[in-house]
Amino acid sequence: MSDDDLVFKALADPTRRHLLDRLFVRDGRTLTELESELTMTRFGVMKHLRVLEEAGLVVTRKSGREKLHFLNPVPIRLLHDRWIDKYTERHVSALVDLKKELEETS
C-alpha cells in the first residue's frame, strides 16, 4: 500500500477520526487518557492507534515512563498539497506540477 492509501484508510473510520480530533484539541496524550473517552476495550483503542501510527498520523514519544501520542499533521498536509490543491487551484503552476508528477510516476 502506498503512503496515501495508508492515510486514506486510516481516516476512513469514525473512531480513528475521533482520536485525531481529541489529539487536535490537546496533544501528547497517554493511551489511558485516550481510551477514557471511548466505549471500547483498551485493545481496540490500541489497534486503532496502531493504524494511525502506521499511516504516520500519530507519532509517539516517551516521556519518563509514559508513552505520549502526538498528532502528526504532515501526512494530511501532503495529501492536501498533492491532491486537494491539484483540483482546486487551476492555475498554470498546478498544471506544471501535475505534469511533473505524472512523468515521475509513469
Partner 1 sequence: MTTVTQPTAIATEPAPASTVQVYRVYIKAGAQAIWDAITRPEWTNRYGYTGFAEYDLRPGGAYRVRANEEFKAAAAAGGFPCPDIVVDGEVVEVDPPRRLVTTWRLLMDPGMAAEGFTRVTYDIKELDGFCSLTVTHDLAGAPRLALLVSGAFEDMGGGGGGGHAWVLSDLKSLLETGTTLAGAG
Residues of the shown chain interacting with partner 1 in the complex, contacts defined by CB under 8 A: 3, 14-15, 18, 26-29, 33, 36-40, 44, 56, 59, 61, 68, 70, 72-74, 76-78, 81, 85, 93, 96-97, 100, 104
User: CB-wise, 90 or 104, nearer to partner 1?
Assistant: 104
The DSSP bridge partners found for residue 59 are 70
Nearest-approach distance from CB 50 to partner 1, in angstroms: 16
Q: Is the dihedral of CA 16, 42, 71, 97 positive or negative?
A: negative
Cell 501528547 appears where? 28
